[in-house]
């Protein structure tokens, strides 16, 4: 199952009073699932675990709601620029560092390589699906790079939009410019999720993407994968990356909590965690490099670890309505139903209304 299917099935089973002992989750689901009563509080069990301090507090934060822990932070990954080094070298271009660089390089790499009048390689691509999984995460990276705008922040005990209309407008304008001004994004990619984005990069039809360390899995069958490289993602005013932490949540309706806790602690012990994440996300433990299974890798580890300093995590509130609004307004821009300014104003209004009426009530 992909993530939207997993989320749906977990909710449906929970509403029926059933569900798995352990739920593999996106970190942003945790507050929502806690609110729905789908997870068990394991704060005492986690804090008494001898390995508790091996996980950075920033990762435990993702598994925590109102000071209580509901799961183990299993894997983590920042987002970086994954690109084709051979194409940049052929064009005599440097790796882009800013949004202006990204637009320039993406436009230059968009080419009809065989002279048949059809573009074969586009410089860049992004997710814009209404399924609201990867797309909102990419959007959040763009937003945070505009003077550290966030989807929501807590102030004086209340949640408010963590961004201004002007910050959001710059992000929506970037989507518009890449698609319609520079024409460096495939016009047929509106509505793509990761299921389309990742394979198209691997097939060689996209030169650069915002992506995670799991792309290493696609190298074996990937087009010219020997030229795949990684770098910090281009920014507007400040470096930015999403610190994605996945959580193994303990189900509310299981009958074997003690055995499940033992299993999870064994599975995410240092050596096991490093072993099972060798070609996927990075392990969330800070002692991972001490494991005999740890392998140095400048492309698929070092770049991601170097960018932790620029990372942010999602706010610890139910985010589904905000995620859906994010992609709805991206699509308003891509289908030209709203200007970037109109979409930014509409998005800000949706976020504020949701926070006022649902989160702060």
| Alpha helices per DSSP H over 110-164 | 134-144
**Looking at the DSSP assignment, which residues form a beta bridge with residue 245?**
76
pLDDT, tens digit, 9 for 90 and up, residues 27-58: 999 999 999 999 999 999 999 999 999 999 98
CA 118 from chain center: how many Å? Answer: 32
Q: Where residue 334 falls among pLDDT bands split at 50, 70, 90?
A: very high
Range picked from 114-118, 296-300, 315-319, 351-355 for highest mean pLDDT = 351-355
CB atoms within 10 A of CB 306: 16
Among the listed residues 187, 195, 210, the one whose alpha carbon sits nearest the alpha carbon of residue 335: 187
**If you average pLDDT over residues 215-237, what whole number do you get?**
96
Q: How far apart are CA 183 and CA 246, in angstroms?
A: 34
pLDDT, tens digit, 9 for 90 and up, residues 50-103: 999 999 998 999 999 999 999 999 998 899 999 999 999 999 999 999 999 999
Whole-model pTM?
Answer: 0.92
Longest dimension (CA), the chain: 65
Look-up: residue for tokens 């104003």? 345
**If you average pLDDT over residues 135-158, what whole number do you get?**
97
What burial class does residue 234 get, using C-beta atoms within 10 Å of its C-beta: 0-12 exposed, 13-18 middle, 19+ buried?
buried
Q: What is the DSSP letter of 289?
A: G
- Average pLDDT score, the chain: 96
pLDDT for residue 354 is more than 90: yes
Q: Where residue 225 falls among pLDDT bands split at 50, 70, 90?
A: very high
- To the nearest whole percent, how much of the chain has pLDDT over 70? 100
pLDDT for residue 182 is more than 90: yes
Q: How far apart are CA 125 and CA 316, in angstroms?
A: 29
Tokens of residue 329, six digits:
């307004």
Q: How far apart are CA 193 and CA 132, in angstroms?
A: 8
pLDDT for residue 279 is more than 90: no
* Same fold across 3-77+243-312 and 80-241+317-359: yes
What's the pLDDT at 245? 94
- To the nearest whole percent, how much of the chain has pLDDT over 90? 93
Structurally, at CATH architecture level, domain 3-77+243-312 sits in 3-Layer(aba) Sandwich (3.40)
Our CA angle for 295, 298, 302, nearest 5°, is 85
**If you average pLDDT over residues 305-329, what whole number do you get?**
94
**If you average pLDDT over residues 233-250, what whole number do you get?**
96
Which has the higher per-residue pLDDT, 356 or 279?
A: 356
pLDDT for residue 132 is more than 80: no
pLDDT, tens digit, 9 for 90 and up, residues 188-210: 999 999 999 999 999 999 999 99
Q: How far apart are CA 171 and CA 164, in angstroms?
A: 11
What's the pLDDT at 361? 86
**If you average pLDDT over residues 240-266, what whole number do you get?**
96
What's the pLDDT at 4? 86
Domain 80-241+317-359 in CATH 3.40.50.1370: no
């Amino acid at each position: 199952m992909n993530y939207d299917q997993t989320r749906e099935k977990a909710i449906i089973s929970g509403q029926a009073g059933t569900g798995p002992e352990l739920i593999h989750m996106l970190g942003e689901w945790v507050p929502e699932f806690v609110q729905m009563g789908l997870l068990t509080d394991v704060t005492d069990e986690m804090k008494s675990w001898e390995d508790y301090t091996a996980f950075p507090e920033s990762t435990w934060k993702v598994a925590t709601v109102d000071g209580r822990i509901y799961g183990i932070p299993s894997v983590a990954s920042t987002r970086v620029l994954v690109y084709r080094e051979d194409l940049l070298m052929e064009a005599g271009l440097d790796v882009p560092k800013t949004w202006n660089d990204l637009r320039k390089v993406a436009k230059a790499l968009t080419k009809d390589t065989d002279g048949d009048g059809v573009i074969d390689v586009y410089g860049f691509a992004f997710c814009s699906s209404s399924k609201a999984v990867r797309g909102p995460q990419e959007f959040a990276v763009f937003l945070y790079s505009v003077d550290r705008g966030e989807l929501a922040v807590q102030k004086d005990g209340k949640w408010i939009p963590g961004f201004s209309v002007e910050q959001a407008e710059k992000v929506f304008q970037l989507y518009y410019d890449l698609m319609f001004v520079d024409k460096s994004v495939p016009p047929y990619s509106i509505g793509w999720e990761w299921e389309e984005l990742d394979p198209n990069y691997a097939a060689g039809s996209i030169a650069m993407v915002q992506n995670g360390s799991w792309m290493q899995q696609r190298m074996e069958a990937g087009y010219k994968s020997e030229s795949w490289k990684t770098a910090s993602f281009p920014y507007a005013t400040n470096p930015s990356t999403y610190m994605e932490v996945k959580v193994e949540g303990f189900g509310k309706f299981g009958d074997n909590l003690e055995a499940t806790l033992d299993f999870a602690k064994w599975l995410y012990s240092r050596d096991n965690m490093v072993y099972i994440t060798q070609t996927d996300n990075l392990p969330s433990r800070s002692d991972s490099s001490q494991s005999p299974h740890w392998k140095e890798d400048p492309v698929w580890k070092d770049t991601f670890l170097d960018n932790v300093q620029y990372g942010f995590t999602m706010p610890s509130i139910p985010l589904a309505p905000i995620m859906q609004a994010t992609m709805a307004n991206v699509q308003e821009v891509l289908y030209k139903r709203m200007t970037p300014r109109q979409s930014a104003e509409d998005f800000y209004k949706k976020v504020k209304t949701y926070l006022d009426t649902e989160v702060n009530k």
